[in-house]
Amino acid sequence: MSKNTAILLMHCPDQTGLVAAVTDFLHKNNGNIIDLDQHVDTNEHYFFMRVEWNLEDFAIPKEKIDDFFGTLVGKKYDMKWQLHFSDQPQRMAIFVSKMSHCFYDILQRCMSKEWNVEIAMIISNHPNLKLIADRFDLPFHVIPITKETKREQEEKELALLKEANVDFVVLARYMQIISDNFIQHYENKIINIHHSFLPAFVGAKPYHQAYKRGVKIIGATSHYVTAELDAGPIIAQDVEAISHKDSIADLVRKGKDLEKMVLSKALWLQLQHKVLPYQNRTIIF
């Protein structure tokens, strides 16, 4: 929990010697590797890697690692990379509407320190869940949205997020479509939970669609939000068996359990810096 590690997420065209170059860089500077996972997409000839190492005896000071790695390794191999430190908790904004199941699930994990993250704020288009936020002394902004006000209200939200140094946004059953403009400010940094096993039942009322189609399993999908509705890179999915005995109300009830678990699973991965989106797919280390 109170680890003092650095994490590098990197990707580049595949070529011989990539793993050797990175591990050599760490090894020579006394970086003890705690976790290393790499993947080669053999169709695309593309290389992906996540490596986490102990900073304790590491020869390069924290603030210089990015520069050193870039100069000595990254640029040579035409890499894109992210550098993270485990002792710097990310700051998360939670968007909600009226339903509380995902919200409670996140709260419990934060409050019990299962997750190392800061809840910067809650934003909602409805006041319903304010009471819960109050009980936990969390800042709660009610920002109603209509077609006419969407643009300006989103600007308000963006200002709040920026001011609070929010790293990523969680849509915890937030029932509004986010505009392209908003998305561009947080590319691959807005995590949504959709209440179906995508790509089945895109859009509104997926449980009604599922009931009508007579499926024997329902699902939930957590994904990064992109311009196309419910079509962004998938982080996590899960399903549950249903039967003809389940009414639409039963699907909604059972689906809530899926939604909160799948969303929390995706958030856990995000908090560990274990998700690397690439071309509408994700590498999960």
Catalytic sites, residue numbers: 230
Select from 67, 62, 3, 65 the least CA-distant residue to 34.
3
Q: How far is the CB of 165 from a second copy (least distance, A)?
A: 27
Q: How far is the CB of 162 from a second copy (least distance, A)?
A: 30
Burial (0-12, 13-18, 19+ Cβ within 10 Å), 279: exposed
Cα separation of 166 and 90, whole Å? 8
Contact residues for 237 (Cβ-Cβ < 8 A; gap 6+): 197, 198, 219, 220, 221, 222, 262
Stretch that binds a second copy, among 65-73, 79-87, 172-180, 245-253 (CB under 8 A): 245-253
Stretch that binds a second copy, among 58-66, 101-109, 119-127, 179-187 (CB under 8 A): 101-109
2 binds a second copy (CB under 8 A): no
Closer to a second copy by Cβ: residue 45 or 75? 45
166 binds a second copy (CB under 8 A): no
Count of residues touching a second copy (by CB under 8 A): 69
DSSP notation for 31-69: --EEEEEEEEETTTTEEEEEEEEE-TT-SS-HHHHHHHH
Among 3, 12, 34, 66, binds a second copy (CB under 8 A): 34
Q: How far is the CB of 161 from a second copy (least distance, A)?
A: 26
Q: Looking at beta carbons, which pairs linking 61-68 to residues 24 or more positions away fall under 8 Å?
A: 62/6, 65/6
Contact residues for 175 (Cβ-Cβ < 8 A; gap 6+): 97, 98, 125
100 binds a second copy (CB under 8 A): yes
Measured CA to CA in angstroms, residue 114 lies from 52, 107, 117, 241 at distances of 20, 10, 9, 29
Closer to a second copy by Cβ: residue 36 or 160? 36
Q: Yes or no: say if 115 and 86 are a contact pair by the CB < 8 Å rule.
A: no
- Tokens 């102990």 found at: 54
Stretch that binds a second copy, among 77-85, 88-96, 109-117, 139-147 (CB under 8 A): 109-117
97 binds a second copy (CB under 8 A): no
160 binds a second copy (CB under 8 A): no
Among 2, 147, 184, 213, binds a second copy (CB under 8 A): 213
Q: How far is the CB of 89 from a second copy (least distance, A)?
A: 17
Q: Yes or no: say if 59 and 29 are a contact pair by the CB < 8 Å rule.
A: yes
Q: Which residues bind a second copy (CB under 8 A)?
A: 16-17, 19-20, 23-24, 26-27, 30-43, 99-101, 104-105, 107-108, 111-112, 114, 132, 135-136, 197-201, 213-217, 219, 233-239, 241, 243-245, 247-248, 253, 256-257, 261, 264, 280-284
